[in-house]
Structure 1
Amino acid sequence: MRRHEILTLFIDWPVSLVEEGIDFRVRIVHAQRRHNLERHHRNAITARAHGLQSHMIRTILGRQSINASAG
């Protein structure tokens, strides 16, 4: 189907259907943005947890090496 045919079909639609189509598209975009934001938030939490875990491991290993050298 060519572009002008699609536009003609779109123009022939009742206004309510066109508005619903636009509203549907807007809802899809908002859902995609919300999904991306949630994914970013999850990634940030994971990264923070990983950083904390690494810090704790380094601290524990550091204490073990201090205790080993003192013992």
Structure 2
Amino acid sequence: MVTKIDRLARSIIDLNNIVHELAAESISVLFLKDNMEFHAERTPTACRRCCLMCWGVLRSLRPI
């Protein structure tokens, strides 16, 4: 569980790599504040990956 996307990674590349690596280890990722979950046992659709990247961009631009 992660509070917000920007707490897991500071760049889009890192965010994508971390979520991918965790899924490869059968670990699901849940972003509480962003209400998004990536299940390790399911292959993420293109839409889910796009949402992850878009939220990551928005969170990185927003002041903390």
Give the TM-score normalised by structure 1. Answer: 0.33
Higher helix share goes to which structure? 1
Structure with greater Cα Rg: 1
Q: Name the structure, 1 or 2, with higher relative contact order (CA <8 Å, separation 6+).
A: 2
Give the TM-score normalised by structure 2. Answer: 0.36
Higher strand share goes to which structure? 2
